[in-house]
Structure 1
Amino acid sequence: MNIPGTTIHKLIDQLTQSSFSFALYRLPWTDEPILVLQEEGETEIVENPADLNGKRGFVLTPFHPTQERPAVIIHPDKVAHEWNNISQVLEDFASSKKITPSEVTAVEAAVTDDEEAKIRYEQAFSRFIAPLKNKTFRKLVLSRNYTQTIKPDFSPLSAFIRACNSYPRMMISLCHTPLTGTWIGSTPEIILSGHETEWHTVALAGTMPMQGETMPTEWSEKNQEEQAFVSEYIRQTVKRFGSKLKEKGPYTARAGQLVHLKTDFHFQLKDTSHLGDILKELHPTPAVCGLPKEETYTFILENEGYDRSYYAGIIGWLDPQGDTTLYVNLRCMNIAGQTATLYAGGGILPSSTVETEWEETQQKMNTMRNIL
């Protein structure tokens, strides 16, 4: 991706500290940045994914909505593609609005101690593995966060551009609202995309590191089993809403310096006015939650030991009358003051080991560390 001029850099970085709401994103295998800007007013809050029925705009939802962590829609007062058009929109906006730091100042998180982080993860792993071994659950997803300092001259837009150039296969996003703070992400996982009658979702589970520039293809039984659980859940969910279901996979798909097992599901929808209902059933998928869904969702909230915030929620563009491109918010970080809080997780099965799962979260966090 080309580097935009200094004016765009300055304006977008200023917007990440302002009372205005915007999203800048780039879809996989494109070089086209897209800006969604809400010119005035507060972002719309929705209580759950079903409330997205009939809505249009840029969506950011948390893993678990609360008053402090609401699901929001950035209204598309202005939508611009390519840097030249984005520059014009931002310059016009800046000339009519005073972009000043938000009165709601983000609270910086305490920097994470490495040894303490490992101990906390091991304790959480013990809580998660027990109900798997006694067969209470078929799968659980255990995640964690990590907060580190960033340089005083850190530029969110520069990080976004580095991510675009480093991860062509992923959806890259820079999103800011006064309610959610500033988030930068690089995610490979579609939760729902399509237009008119043709729609698409994926099952993405199982993780291995790249071997240099060679994609490994020999998957362990644990990874294959994890992917099969996710695929079966999505298959059954899609069948309730769509028709003419076609599957491709599972196959090995690269995401940065990692590979995953992926299955594509293509299906038809006669009515797009109820996309929120589909999202409510799909989210959270077993790829970020577990099976059975409701029971594992409750277990995670009670036992994971921290707030996932907008990690593992939904992010992207929603338009029931046009193109929709919604993703699971993975490989992401929250920028607050001089800190960046990174998030990552992995599927736990009875055969999982704490060292292997810890290392998987490290590798996933490196996706964001590499652009810092």
Structure 2
Amino acid sequence: MILPSISIHKLIDSLTRSKASFALYRQPWTDEPILILQESREAHILNDLTDLNGKQGFLIAPFKQTEQHPIVLIRPDHRVCEWEAISETLDQFAKAHPEEIPASPNELPLVSANQAFQPDLSEKDKETYEEAFKRFIGPLQQNTFQKLVLSRCIHQDLPEDFSPLSAFVNACNNYPRMMISLCHTPETGTWLGSTPEIILSGHDTQWHTVSLAGTMPMQGDVMPTEWSEKNQREQAFVSDYIRKTVKQFGSKITEKGPYTARAGELVHLKTDFNFQLKDASNLGNILKELHPTPAVCGLPKQEAYTFIEENEGFDRNYYAGIIGWLDPQEDTSLYVNLRCMKIKGKKSILYAGGGILPSSTLETEWEETQQKLKTMLKIL
């Protein structure tokens, strides 16, 4: 993907520091940027995922809904594709709302995936993770849970010349298989992500979701395919839950997988579920049952959800939530918000996690989160 003109570059970066609400995203295997822009400041706040029934817009929902982390739907007052149309829309928006466009730096960085950059990784990060791992592995080995997902975050200073739009374009160019998003609202802050995991997509009567679990690093340009028993069991747990959930709402269900699927410098075990829906007006009901999937939570689901909140040791915020385009009348493409970071001024918070089973080891799980964090670190 090419970088747009300097004027549009400045406008998009400025909007991430404004009170406007917008999302810029690119679907996997395309080179088409799509902009969703809301005219008014007032966000569409929802109390429950079921409130999404019949709604249209760009969704950003948290892992756990709270007063501080609401479900937000960006209204599509403008929905345009390709840089030329995006440029015209942003120019018109800037003229109509000059108060929404903060001043931006004169100099903008060139897009490069090879800038010298040193991440702030410390021993304290690992000590904190090790303490959390001990809290998680005990109940698993006592058979209280089948699976738990333990995640972590790192606080990272951004480069002096950091540009959200340059990072977005970098991610598009580095990760063609993933959905790339740059999303900003006053309620959620600014989020940049590169996620491989669909939670719900489709149109009319034809719908799709996936089970994505199990992780290994790429071996150079070769995709490894020999999966450990731990990874296979983890994927089976997630698939079983997805299968049961889809059966509640859909018919004519077909499965493909599990198979090895690449996501950046990692590979995962993936199973596709295709199914039919008679009525697409109740997508919120399906999302409430699917979210959070065992791929980001655990089993039994509700007990794992509560355990994570009480024992993980930090706020997941919108990490492992839902992000993407919702439209029951046309195409819907919703994803789990993974491989993401929150941008706060000159700092960012990066998130990563992994499934823990009774057979899991500290070093293996720590290394998995390290590899996942590299997805976002690479584009900095």
Partner of 2:72: 72
- Equivalences for 1:352-367 in 2 at 5 Å? 352-367=360-375
Shift of residue 15 of structure 1?
0.3
SS in structure 2 opposite 1:14? helix
Query: Unaligned stretches of 5+ in structure 2?
Result: 104-118
Could you tell me the percent identity over the aligned residues? 70
Partner of 1:147: 155
Shift of residue 231 of structure 1?
0.2
Contact kept, 8 Å, 2:19 with 2:41, in 1: the verdict is no
Structure 2: distance between partners of 1:74 and 1:254: 30
Partner of 1:321: 329
TM-score, structure 2 length as denominator?
0.94
Q: Deviations over 1:273-330 (max 9, x none)?
A: 1000000000000000000100000000000000000000000000011100000000
Letter in 2 for 1:46: L
Structure 1: distance between partners of 2:232 and 2:48: 31
Partner of 1:17: 17
1:241 aligns with 2:242: no
- Equivalences for 1:1-372 in 2 at 5 Å? 1-98=1-98, 99-101=100-102, 114-372=122-380
Structure 1: distance between partners of 2:209 and 2:41: 33
Contact kept, 8 Å, 1:49 with 1:280, in 2: the verdict is yes
Q: Deviations over 1:182-219 (max 9, x none)?
A: 00000000000000000000000000000001000000
Q: Deviations over 1:327-353 (max 9, x none)?
A: 000000000011111000000000000
Q: Deviations over 1:151-194 (max 9, x none)?
A: 23210000000000000000000000011110000000000000
The alignment's C-alpha RMSD in Å is: 1.1
Name whichever of 325-334 and 90-99 sits farther off.
90-99
Letter in 2 for 1:28: P
SS in structure 1 opposite 2:341? strand
Letter in 1 for 2:374: N
Structure 1: distance between partners of 2:35 and 2:181: 10
Shift of residue 100 of structure 1?
3.7
Structure 1: distance between partners of 2:121 and 2:323: 29
Letter in 1 for 2:54: G
Letter in 1 for 2:159: K
Contact kept, 8 Å, 2:350 with 2:373, in 1: the verdict is yes
SS in structure 2 opposite 1:17? coil
SS in structure 1 opposite 2:227? coil
Shift of residue 48 of structure 1?
2.1
Partner of 2:111: none
Letter in 1 for 2:75: H
Letter in 2 for 1:95: K
Question: How many residue pairs get matched?
Answer: 364
Letter in 2 for 1:51: D
SS in structure 1 opposite 2:280? coil
Name whichever of 126-135 and 43-52 sits farther off.
43-52
Structure 2: distance between partners of 1:267 and 1:139: 26
Query: Unaligned stretches of 5+ in structure 1?
Result: 103-110
Name whichever of 255-264 and 51-60 sits farther off.
51-60
Structure 2: distance between partners of 1:97 and 1:13: 16
Runs of 4+ in 1 over 6 A off after TM superposition: none
Contact kept, 8 Å, 1:19 with 1:101, in 2: the verdict is no
Shift of residue 51 of structure 1?
1.4
SS in structure 2 opposite 1:321? coil
Shift of residue 112 of structure 1?
6.7
TM-score, structure 1 length as denominator?
0.96
